[in-house]
Amino acid sequence: MKRLEGIHHISAITSDAQRNVDFYVGVLGLRLVKKSINQDHTSVYHLFYGDEHAHPGADMTFFEYPGLPRGRAGAGMVSRVLWRVGSPSAIDFWETRLHGLGYSARRTDSGSLVFADWEGLEHELVVVAVSDAPLVAEHPEIPAEHALQGFHAVRAYSAHPEWSAPLLEQTLGFTALGDGAWEARGEQRGGSIIYDAPPAQRPLQGSGTVHHVAWAMYDEDLGAWHRAVLEAGAHASPVIDRHYFNSIYFREPSGVLFELATLGPGFTVDEPLEQLGQKLSLTPQFEHLRDQIEPHLTPLVNPRDAWVRG
């Protein structure tokens, strides 16, 4: 079985789908690549953002729970999403752009840029020397050379990252980078998890928090990864068909919810690349309920529609 290909997607929680679209498409410049429903609550959205081609590696997803109070990241949770950008001048561009749009953003000692979305979910833009293909989307206000280029890492809170080391290294094939960081690197891409000491406050899963991080596996390795995780003693879910990929879920020893997701078949399985995210996508088990589901969803305005039509 081949090694994991870095981060596949990151799923988080929002209290307001429209404001979420306005931020991730309008401000950050990602493409809305799939507009679906929360399979457990079919009256609300599950939104997927990504690069122009909806590749694994740049896919940020949000479950909508309207009105859900804000959460806060704590022990056993992902606290921040790290994105690659192309150069220090891209950091300058984003600092100016975010400030201009009313968001605070601060430089770290290492030169990265940290900011939060409108409901407190933290992001960090980093310049890194890797040969991974940049995964970018198009936005009229964002020059291509400054666009986000896909995930680099997640930061998570753990008081005992060493507890996670055996599963990460021996079972999942991550490499220890030191300073509480481990990288999953395959033939095409790499992605990391970086553990920080947790805050004193108890974690609270609410809006503006990350629910899980998914790592990418080759489709043919699904069964082998499932057996490996079970044999390592992790309490893995059965294989779950997410229509766009197949997944298994388990908590790593620090408590962070991991998913392993197949690279295929991907978001073009039910609509052509040019039309991704325009209409409501329902998986086969919900398609026959479309007439009952769609009227209960609040229509979304996608900022991209205005500039694509010109």
- Nearer to Zn ion by Cβ, of 98 and 214: the residue is 214
Taking the C-alpha atoms of residue 49 and residue 208, their distance in angstroms, rounded to an integer, is 16
User: Considering the complex, what minimum distance in angstroms separates the CB of residue 221 from Zn ion?
Assistant: 17
Q: How far is the CB of 9 from Zn ion (least distance, A)?
A: 6
Q: Shortest distance, CB of residue 75 to Zn ion, whole angstroms?
A: 21
CB contact at 8 A, 36 and 267: no
Nearer to Zn ion, 56 or 173 (CB): 56
- Beta carbon nearer to Zn ion, 105 or 154: 154
The least distance separating Zn ion from the CB of residue 261, rounded to whole angstroms, comes to: 6
Work out whether 214 is an interface residue with Zn ion (CB under 5 A).
yes
Q: How many residues bind Zn ion (CB under 5 A)?
A: 3
Minimum gap (Å) between residue 61 Cβ and Zn ion? 7
105-107 vs 113-116, strand pairing mode: antiparallel
Question: Phi/psi zone of residue 158: left (φ > 0), alpha (ψ -120 to 50 degrees), beta?
Answer: beta
Only one of the segments 25-33, 69-77, 78-86, 256-264 lies at the binding site for Zn ion (rule: CB under 5 A); that segment is: 256-264
Given CA atoms 209, 43, 36, 259 in this order, what sign does their dihedral have? positive
Q: Is residue 259 near Zn ion by the rule CB under 5 A? A: yes
CB of 223 to Zn ion, least distance (A): 19
What is the rounded CA–CA span in Å between residue 133 and residue 115? 24
Region near Zn ion per CB under 5 A, out of 91-99, 136-144, 184-192, 211-219: 211-219
* Token representation of residue 55: 């590749």
Beta carbon of residue 212, minimum distance to Zn ion (angstroms, whole number): 6
Q: Which stretch binds Zn ion (CB under 5 A): 41-49, 155-163, 178-186, 255-263?
A: 255-263
Binding segment toward Zn ion, per CB under 5 A, in 11-19, 20-28, 86-94, 293-301: 11-19
The nearest distance, CB 65 to Zn ion, in angstroms, is: 16
| Cα gap 75→55, rounded to integer Å | 30
Give 150 or 303: the residue with its C-beta nearer to Zn ion. Answer: 150
Nearer to Zn ion, 80 or 146 (CB): 80
Do 268 and 54 contact (CB within 8 A), yes or no? yes
Q: Considering the complex, state which of residue 237 and residue 285 has its C-beta at the smaller distance from Zn ion.
A: 237
Asked if residue 11 binds Zn ion (CB under 5 A), the reply is yes
Is 238 or 310 the residue whose CB approaches Zn ion more closely? 238
The answer to whether residue 262 forms part of the interface with Zn ion (CB under 5 A) is: no
Residues engaged in binding Zn ion (CB under 5 A): 11, 214, 259
